[in-house]
Structure 1
Amino acid sequence: MDDILVLGSEFTTGANLAAGLADQTRVSARPLVVPTHLSDEEQDAYSTTVAVEIARDVIAASGASQIIYCGAAAESCWARTELTSDDANTLRIWLRAAHDESVRLTFVSSDAVFTGPRLFHEENSPNRCTSREARLIVEMEDLVRRVLPESLIVRTHAYGWSPDGNGYVETLVDDLSRGRTEHLDAVRHATPILATDLADMIARAIEEELTGTLHLGGAERCSFADFARTLADVFQLPAPEITPGPTLTTRAAGFGAGETGLNSKRVRNLLNLALPMVDEGLVRLAGQRAEAASTEPVRELIAA
């Protein structure tokens, strides 16, 4: 497998994809921010040009022939990560650099471009979310297609441990431990997948040189409340008491607020994949925490 550069190591999805791919090939990982080392006045005039040059140098130094781009759009919509036009501008810089360096690119995107009433969305599903964030992600996908027509766009709903320890999974574990359940609604539905499981599947797609748009979610559709219940069971936390919300009479509005489940039939057929169930992914998530905890004393000893 070719060497890979994962961009977006500051995000949960990017950090976990890099970790998951490291067992299969040589992986470099770095944050998306491109340092220009310029004053404010210089940045106004030259920042884009200089940033592209720096991005090209980063790509060349990595020796990678494949980039996996994991920005804010790659984060679970349940995490409520902020999306702004700056994300599109940063993507534009890296796309120009990737084009100049003639490397292939996989753009990890979001299931939250969709909403109900459909429960599962195919790649060309017409049920698009009209929120500002969803429209911005669609614009970013279109930008990828224009600049790098042979790219791969993977829509997903990835979760995992965050690199800074303050992600939505960590917060959810803490809330369940403390009995904070008022935010666990049964309206938001998705097909979540552990980010390290996603890494294996993206690796397969890259090996097969797939292009275009693919949906890669988990095998099960579940609500945020269902996800929390299963997590509590796997982690042996108190079962959450969830109060049923009001019955919806209209379609849920807002980014990631409704039905974002993905139909991954196309990629299952192309790659002969078996997608993971929710509890299977959460068992592996718990195992990752146990493994990290077991190595912490070793790190402390080395640091001492």
Structure 2
Amino acid sequence: MKKLLVTGASGFLGWHLCQLAKQQWDVYSTYFSHEIEIPGVTMLKIDLRDFQALKHLFQQIQPSATIHTAAQSSPNYCQTHAEESYAINVTTSLNIAGLCADFGIPFIFTSTDLVFDGLNAPYRETDPVSPVNAYGEQKVQAEEGILARYPLATICRMPLMFGMATPTATSFIQPFMQTLKDGKELALFTDEFRTPASGTTAAKGLLMVLEKQVQGMIHLGGKERLSRYDFGRLLVEVFQLPATRLKSCRQQDVKMAAPRPADVSLDSSKAFHLGYQPLSVREELEMLRG
């Protein structure tokens, strides 16, 4: 069985990816601060910012491919901790790309829809980037640096992701549901649009990209453009949550450290043509409800 190195098993996407990848690959996955066990996956504790440790890891495992999902992905945290988040989001990503280039193996980097400013959606792979916050800026620097260092690398721009909580990570729906179950008010934006996909769907997309040896840029968004508020309404309906506490608000009414783009919907037709098949958000939520 070929060896696949997945960084960031304790993150939401990394965990979902390991669950699927272990069916076809001998998976090795890294974690740093949140210890985690995934049956059928070899777990390795490492600080990815330590280049010597990283190099040693590659020599030890000799992976056939690498998918890099580890990141500091909270836009507000990146905005207020620019240097610390740059080290993991940019420097580490370039180091991993360089090692994959040295080993001549496929390298898939998970980027974000937040590389766009939200003024010209839906976005295709060829559209110019113009991030409005530090997190988006770091992902752009990583994308450009990776392709300069390793032109055969793959950049997968990921949408807003949701799904069941993992042992060490939640998606945005868990706090939403808890707020409503507690009888508290949940105010969601009517003017922020994304193309959400579940963690499982996103992981399937990454494995498809690896299998089909896609190189360069590809978008792995869902099929529907939804506002946060529309998403909340679907969530309330499918999980039969108290709807009266769901309220609408606008981005400008909420003060956040990181500015947020209004509409970063992705046009993922390139991936759809290759066989990427996200379900509708309603179907995804119904599957989560079980």
TM-score range, shorter chain: 0.7 to 0.9
Asked if the contact 2:187–2:248 (Cα under 8 Å) also holds between the matched residues in 1, the reply is no
Between the aligned partners of 1:284 and 1:60, the Cα distance in structure 2 is 40
User: Contact 2:108–2:153 at 8 Å: present in 1 too?
Assistant: yes
Identical counterparts, % of pairs? 24
Residue of structure 1 in register with 2:71 after alignment: 72
Aligned counterpart, 1:178:
182
Contact 1:118-1:127 within 8 A present in 2 as well: no
Q: Structure 2 regions of 5+ residues with no counterpart? A: 34-44, 79-84
Equivalent in the alignment of 1:210: 214
Residue 249 of structure 2 aligns to a residue whose secondary structure is: coil
Hey, what does 1:278 align to over in structure 2?
281
Selected match of 1:159 from 151, 159, 162: 162
Which is further off, 234-243 or 131-140? 234-243
1:165-213: per-residue Cα shift (whole Å, max 9, x none)? 5543321221121233343121211001111112222212111111000
Q: Which residue of 2 aligns with 1:293?
A: none
Cα distance in 2 for residues equivalent to 1:256 and 1:26? 39
More off after superposition, 146-155 vs 84-93: 84-93
Name the counterpart of 2:128.
Answer: 126
Q: Structure 2 counterpart of 1:82, which letter?
A: Y
What is the Cα deviation at residue 67 of structure 1?
0.6
More strand by share: 2
Contact 1:85 1:136 in 2 (8 A): yes
Report the equivalent of 2:18.
18
Q: Which residue of 1 aligns with 2:201?
A: 197
Find the counterpart in structure 1 of residue 29 from structure 2. 29
Normalising by structure 2, we get a TM-score of 0.80
* Equivalent pair of 2:111/2:155 in contact (CA under 8 Å): yes
Question: Structure 1 stretches of 5 or more lacking a match?
Answer: 37-46, 288-304
Distance 1:208 1:166 in 2: 30
Distance 1:97 1:240 in 2: 53
User: Equivalent residue for 1:116?
Assistant: 118
1:135 match: 137
TM-score, with length taken from structure 1: 0.77
Is contact 1:3–1:27 with CA below 8 Å preserved after alignment? yes
Q: Equivalent residues in 2 for 1:17-96 (5 A)?
A: 17-31=17-31, 35=46, 51-72=50-71, 75=73, 80=75, 82-83=77-78, 84-87=85-88, 88-96=90-98
How far is 1:151 from its partner? 0.7
Offset of 1:120 from its aligned partner? 1.1
1:68 to partner: Cα distance: 0.5
Q: CA deviation at 1:142?
A: 0.9
Q: Which deviates the most, 121-130 or 61-70?
A: 121-130
Give distance in 2, aligned partners of 1:19 and 1:181: 34
> Any conservation in 2 of the 1:72–1:82 contact (CA below 8 Å)?
no
When the two chains are superposed, the root-mean-square deviation of aligned CA atoms in Å is: 2.8
| 1:227-274 deviations in Å (ceiling 9; x for gaps) | 1221222222222544443698xxxx95444101100011212x1333
| Greater displacement, 278-287 / 109-118 | 278-287
Please identify which structure carries the higher helix content: 1
Contact 1:17–1:199 (Cα < 8 Å) also in 2? yes
SS in 2 for 1:172: helix
Shift of 1:63: 4.1
Q: Distance in 2 between matches of 1:32 and 1:185?
A: 33
